[in-house]
């Protein structure tokens, strides 16, 4: 049996690891565990009431009006996920391919595409709120200027366009991230493999679908999983651009906003219920963890070593 001795090196390691470990335990592990526990109790404001078992979960999932609110928010998260899959990851892949092929101006565009990612979500949210202002916003002004006034809409003010406006702003903000990850993946493909394909076909479509796409599988895994987690944790951008109620009429409501409203209350709702909020938080967490693991495992399986 090896003996544990506190050597100088071991002491150093302990000293260096202990503070971050304590930090993680206090601010990440404890809240998660606590939320799990809270979800099983009845709450009166900040005062914990009786143990109620799965009643909170039952209420947010099956009792009206919570059930329809949950369904509404969850549906929006799903829309956000699939829309961003196309607008963010899909466009990111195409941009990465264009940058990788060293088209003229690639160097400038590499910076330009990534620049918005550096901005804080708060800034991007306010920026796009101004851009999308129905009267003075640069979007509608431009549409009018180029002779398309009928396309000028109150983008954030009507339920048919509000969610899509948010999705678009998010894609604009974050598209540089998948682009960068895909670009890094593409740059790992050996030049001779591409030469070998060029000897067999001149079709860009075949090159992309049969060679480049399968070979950037590791990058795809990363951006898919991160987008999934991001889409179901979506909060800051809708909070800033659409408010806690997911206005108008809940058309931009997502699980993050709904949880926040339920747990901490809101000017318009007035209710504040830690039990229901925690139940929602736990459901979101379990759902994300379960699906993200499945996605990761499945996508990992198709990765190959170059």
Partner 1 sequence: MARLSLRGIKKRFKTTDVLHGIDLEIGDREFVVFVGPSGCGKSTLLRLIAGLDPITEGTFTLNGKSMNDVPPSRRGIAMVFQSYALYPHMDVYENMAFGARLMGLTKAEIEARIDEAARMLRLEPYLKRKPRELSGGQRQRVAIARALVRKPEVFLLDEPLSNLDAALRSDVRLEIARLHRQIGGTMIYVTHDQVEAMTLADKIVVMNQGRIEQVGSPRELYETPANTFVATFIGSPRMALIDVTREGARVGVAGGGSQTLDRMPADANGAFKIGVRPDGLALARGNGGDGFAASVVYTEYLGDNAFVYARLADGTQVGIRTAPGEFYEPDEAVTVTIAPSAAHFFSAADGRRLAA
Q: Which residues bind partner 1 (CB under 8 A)?
A: 190, 192-193, 195-203, 206, 210-211, 214-215, 217, 304-306
Sort 294 into a burial class: Cβ within 10 Å, 0-12 / 13-18 / 19+: exposed
Nearer to partner 1, 3 or 305 (CB): 305
The backbone torsions φ and ψ at residue 247, rounded to the nearest 5 degrees and listed phi first, read -75, 160
Q: d(Cα 184, Cα 96) in Å, to the nearest integer?
A: 9
Nearer to partner 1, 100 or 168 (CB): 100
What is the nearest approach in angstroms of partner 1 to the Cβ of residue 187? 16
- Cα angle for residues 252, 255, 261 (degrees, 5° grid): 85
Question: b/e map of 105-121 (b: 16 or more CB within 10 Å)?
Answer: eeeeebeebbebeeeeb
Nearer to partner 1, 98 or 217 (CB): 217
Sort 191 into a burial class: Cβ within 10 Å, 0-12 / 13-18 / 19+: exposed
What is the nearest approach in angstroms of partner 1 to the Cβ of residue 303? 9
What is the nearest approach in angstroms of partner 1 to the Cβ of residue 189? 9
Nearer to partner 1, 106 or 206 (CB): 206
Nearer to partner 1, 196 or 294 (CB): 196
Alpha carbon distance, N-terminus to C-terminus of the chain: 42
Sort 160 into a burial class: Cβ within 10 Å, 0-12 / 13-18 / 19+: exposed
Task: State the DSSP code for 151.
Answer: G
What is the nearest approach in angstroms of partner 1 to the Cβ of residue 191? 9
Q: d(Cα 75, Cα 79) in Å, to the nearest integer?
A: 6
What is the nearest approach in angstroms of partner 1 to the Cβ of residue 88? 25
What is the nearest approach in angstroms of partner 1 to the Cβ of residue 305? 6
Nearer to partner 1, 215 or 282 (CB): 215
Q: d(Cα 25, Cα 208) in Å, to the nearest integer?
A: 44
Task: State the DSSP code for 211.
Answer: I
Nearer to partner 1, 31 or 214 (CB): 214
What is the nearest approach in angstroms of partner 1 to the Cβ of residue 95? 23
Q: d(Cα 239, Cα 124) in Å, to the nearest integer?
A: 12
């Amino acid at each position: 049996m090896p003996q544990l001795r506190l050597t100088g090196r071991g002491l150093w390691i302990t000293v260096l690891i202990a503070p971050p470990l304590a930090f993680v335990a206090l601010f990440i592990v404890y809240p998660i565990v606590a939320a799990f526990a809270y979800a099983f109790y009845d709450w009166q404001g900040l005062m914990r009431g009786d143990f109620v078992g799965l009643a909170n979960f039952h209420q947010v999932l099956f009792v009206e009006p919570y059930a329809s609110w949950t369904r509404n928010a969850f549906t929006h998260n799903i829309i956000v996920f699939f829309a961003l899959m196309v607008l963010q990851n899909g466009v990111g892949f195409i941009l990465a391919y264009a940058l990788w092929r060293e088209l003229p101006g690639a160097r400038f565009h590499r910076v330009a595409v990534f620049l918005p990612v550096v901005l804080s979500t708060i800034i991007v949210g306010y920026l796009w709120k101004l851009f999308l202002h129905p009267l003075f916003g640069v979007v509608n002004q431009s549409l009018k200027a180029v002779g398309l006034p009928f396309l000028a809409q109150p983008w954030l003010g009507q339920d048919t366009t509000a969610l899509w406006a948010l999705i678009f702003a998010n894609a604009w903000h974050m598209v540089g991230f998948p682009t960068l990850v895909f670009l890094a993946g593409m740059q790992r493909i050996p030049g001779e493999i591409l030469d070998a394909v060029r000897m067999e076909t001149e079709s860009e479509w075949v090159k992309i679908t049969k060679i480049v796409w399968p070979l950037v599988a590791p990058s795809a895994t990363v951006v898919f999983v991160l987008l999934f987690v991001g889409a179901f944790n979506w909060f800051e951008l809708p909070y800033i651009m659409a408010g806690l109620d997911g206005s108008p009429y809940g058309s931009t409501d997502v699980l993050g906003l709904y949880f926040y409203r339920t747990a901490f209350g809101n000017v318009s709702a007035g209710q504040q219920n830690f039990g229901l909020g925690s139940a929602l938080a736990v459901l979101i967490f379990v759902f994300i963890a379960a699906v993200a693991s499945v996605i990761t495992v499945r996508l990992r399986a198709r990765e190959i070593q170059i």
